[in-house]
Amino acid sequence: MSHDLAHLGRNTLTIHAGGEIDRTTGAVAPAIYQTSTFAFASCEQGAARFAGQEDGFIYTRMGNPTTARLETAVAALEGGFGGFATASGMSALCTVLFAVLGQGDHMVGSSSVYGPSRVVVERDFSRFGVTSTFVETADLEAVRAALRPETRLVFVETPANPTMAITDLAAVAELAHAHGAILLVDNTFSSPILQHPIALGADIVMHSMTKFLNGHSDVVAGMVVPASEALYRRIQPVHAYLGACMDPHQAWLTLRGLRTLSMRVRTAQAGAQQVAPWLERHPKVEWVRYPGLPSHPQYELGARQMEGPGSLISFELRGGYEAGVRMLNHVKLMTLAVSLGGVESLIQHPASMTHAAMPRPDRIAAGISDGLVRLSVGCEDVEDILADLSQALDQA
């Protein structure tokens, strides 16, 4: 991040970070460098770049001017040393796992983390001698009990997907660091507008940029932001060798979406702050989990740790699974689809969709019940969202 941006607020950074005006043409919008490779002025220059003795681009898998702008912007928002744009949120996670874990290592993770994030650790990394323990990281004693001498990584998603449980990041960072472990935080649900994990002690922050950072349901992308130069250098070769690079056009779209991040996040949050209490009062709703409700188990922690409760709501109907299915099959304005963080409201059933690959006992233990419904409130007029919820609930 350049010095003249260091003093700016996050709302301003979303608009200006990584957005320097093109010196050659004066173009305000960044160019799309849709190229696989970059020419060298001489053989000596090529050698110097490969040796790391000279800055510059070599090959898009290893870096690209368009993706570099996006990496600069997100790193500035998160307060990190730098960033690595990836092809998806899952490729962001796998890049970190390959970079920091090896045979005989152990990791601790949030039990209700995004389903595939847990599955890839338990099913695939276990084949290479990596062990894992998934616990409710909102319970600090559970985290403490799970840590081992060989623990090298603590992986926290907060608020958790889809239970909305909130983990005390400063406290978990202290526990992790006392055991010599790295703290990785998935900040997808809050975005850097509402939560700042690095400031609370996280060593690495990751995002599925498919969600809020892009915000328009038209890009699949991820981002890794290490807090320190040492971790940046550790992750850099793994990112290049895994081929987890992001396409320049996708990076351009995400950077364009990033410019309205603050406005979108706050608009959707304002809607969710009306939808959540409405759902909690509805006679057909059994319970609601939303960080902005006093009934949330970590309500006070959320108020301290986050700059706002966000726009994700989980709830369950009194009729359980069958009632939830009937409701979901009757939404009209809201879109029945996985993902979140788009300008449109998205609603889905985690047990049969995003978390279907988790064994049911593990899913239930993580608090993901058969009837849980996850709602990502969008930027529509809240009156229209409530009207759609009302008519769909009538069918349940």
Residues assigned a catalytic role: 61, 114, 186, 211
CB-CB contact of 93 with 118 (8 Å): no
Other Cβ atoms closer than 10 A to 183: 25
Cis peptide before 162 (omega within 30 of 0): yes
The b-or-e profile of 287-304 (16+ CB within 10 A means b, else e) is: ebbbbbbeebebbebbbe
Which is nearest to 135 in space by CA: 156, 152, 104? 156
- Contacts of residue 146, Cβ cutoff 8 Å, sequence gap at least 6: 108, 133, 135
Let me know if 153 is exposed, middle or buried by CB neighbors in 10 A (0-12, 13-18, 19+).
buried
Question: Phi and psi for 133 in degrees, rounded to 5?
Answer: -135, 120
CA distance 190 to 266: 11
d(CA 21, CA 206): 27
- Which of 101, 95, 99 is closest to 153 using CA atoms? 101
Q: Is 186 exposed, middle or buried (0-12, 13-18, 19+ CB in 10 A)?
A: buried
| Bridge partners, 132 (sequence order) | 107
Tokens representing 162? 């889809």
Cβ proximity of 224 and 235 under 8 Å: yes
